[in-house]
Structure 1
Amino acid sequence: MPLQGKLDALKLEFETNLAPPATVEALHRSTNELIASGAQNRALKVGDLAPEFTLPDPDGNPVSSKLLLDKGPLVVTFYRGVWCPYCNFDLSALEEARSEIESRGASLVAVSEQTAPNSRKSQRQNRLGFPILGDHGGEVAARFGVRWTLPHYLREVQKALGADLTKFNGEDSWTLPMPARYVIAQDGTIAYAEVNADYTRRPEPSAIFPVLDQLSRRQVA
């Protein structure tokens, strides 16, 4: 089943059989408000220069975007956290596509505000062969223009759902990245950008294959 089909089935089950109507209403409200704010339209786009970053992997080892770009293109996905089933489906789909991504000369990393122990848990549960880098407070997410602050009513909903971000992220900013996937060319320019204020919508990983192929042809030429 395609990734979006899995997410649609998850959403239907959650909203129909698992969540109270008031919770569903609050989640819809916050998503609609974020879309209406135009936040996703202000995120970095194709042709923009991607900010350089160095972030720790879950074991504390620094990972430099510059050093990864010295080897080839870089695929960056912004990940909300281990508590988000939509995000975990997304990571699993990227892991399934990782061999195709790496065969095209690219590296793959996820970036998340969650703490290192939670990232290690995410990597184990989703059997990832790529790292989840720690973006404490969402500073890198903000530089890409994908960080947003949860309204107070949504914070209470998150707590009720067992997703208290102060515990998962280890700080109290109550910020998250919008789901976002980028392909960065070796010269630092963004070759692909997909940002969606609706956390239940994700592109298929295969959407980046033609972009990586084009970058490879450009490098050869």
Structure 2
Amino acid sequence: MTLQDRLDALKADFEGGKFAYKPGPDVLDTMHRATSELVASGQALNARKAGDKAPEFALKDPDDHVVSSVELLAKGPLVVSFYRGVWCPYCNLELQALQAAASAIEARGASVVVISPQTAPNSRKSQRDNQLTFPILSDEKSRVAAAFGLRFSLPDYLVELYKGFKNDLPTFNDDPAWVLPMPARYVIGTDGIIAYAEVNPDYTQRPDPSELLPVLDKLRTNAVA
């Protein structure tokens, strides 16, 4: 089953009322409206894309160690995924899919990091719950997400809905702003140039990590040539 198959099943179960929380039509309409408006804004089209220089970053992992993109790229290509947070079931399915592909990615000489606005304790919970071997880095105030063109502000009506869900982003992220990164995945070559970019303002739509492997193979072939 592909990642998208799992995401589609999750969405169908949620919208079909198969969870303890059963959303009414008004809740679903609000969620669909927010996604549609973000898609229509065109912000995803202005995010960093293949061929662009990737912003450099140095962020702390849950153990308070600084992880530098420059240092990682000195060792090989870098896979970067932007993660909304421990509270997002769609994001957690993606983390699990990335973990399943991690050995194949690392076998191609690449590293994997995930970037999230959430605090270190929440990242530790994400790593534990999803049994991750790669780090989730804390992006304070979503500054790195902004550098990639991914940070957006939630509309007021969605903020109110999230509060009803107990998705208190200011607490999760230690940031009073109600902002999130659009889900995105990048492959960055050792030259710092983005070789692959997938940005989708619809958080229920995400590519399978298997798509990264041909990109990494091509980078390795080019490095040898």
Question: Could you say which TM-score interval applies, normalised by the shorter chain?
Answer: over 0.9
* Secondary structure at the counterpart of residue 80 of structure 1: coil
Offset at 1:114?
0.3
Aligned to 1:125: 129
Aligned to 1:216: 220
Aligned to 1:31: 35
Q: Residue by residue, what CA displacement relative to the aligned partner does 1:108-149 show, whole Å, maximum 9, x if unpaired?
A: 000000010000000000000000000011000000001110
Q: Residue by residue, what CA displacement relative to the aligned partner does 1:186-211 show, whole Å, maximum 9, x if unpaired?
A: 00000000000000000000001000
After TM superposition, the score normalised by the length of structure 2 is 0.97
Offset at 1:23?
1.2
Q: Distance in 2 between matches of 1:168 and 1:177?
A: 14
Structure 1 residues 63-212: aligned runs within 5 Å: 63-212=67-216
Match for 1:114: what amino acid? Answer: Q
CA RMSD of aligned residues (A): 0.6
Q: Distance in 2 between matches of 1:170 and 1:20?
A: 30
Aligned to 2:12: 12
Q: Distance in 2 between matches of 1:47 and 1:92?
A: 28
Match for 1:108: what amino acid? Answer: V
After TM superposition, the score normalised by the length of structure 1 is 0.99
Q: Distance in 1 between matches of 2:173 and 2:23?
A: 24
Q: Distance in 1 between matches of 2:41 and 2:25?
A: 24
Match for 1:3: what amino acid? Answer: L
1:21 aligned to 20, 25, 37, which one?
25
Offset at 1:76?
0.2
Greater mean alpha carbon deviation, residues 118-127 or residues 159-168: 159-168
Greater mean alpha carbon deviation, residues 1-10 or residues 116-125: 1-10
Q: How many residues align?
A: 221
Q: Distance in 1 between matches of 2:25 and 2:59?
A: 39
Match for 1:180: what amino acid? Answer: A
Identity of aligned residues (%): 60
Q: Residue by residue, what CA displacement relative to the aligned partner does 1:43-84 show, whole Å, maximum 9, x if unpaired?
A: 001000001100000111000000000000000000000000
Q: Which runs of 5+ in 2 are unaligned?
A: none
Q: Residue by residue, what CA displacement relative to the aligned partner does 1:145-188 show, whole Å, maximum 9, x if unpaired?
A: 01110001101111111211011111111110000000000000
Q: Distance in 2 between matches of 1:171 and 1:138?
A: 9
Match for 2:160: what amino acid? Answer: E
**Structure 1 residue runs of 4 or more that deviate by more than 4 Å after TM superposition:** none
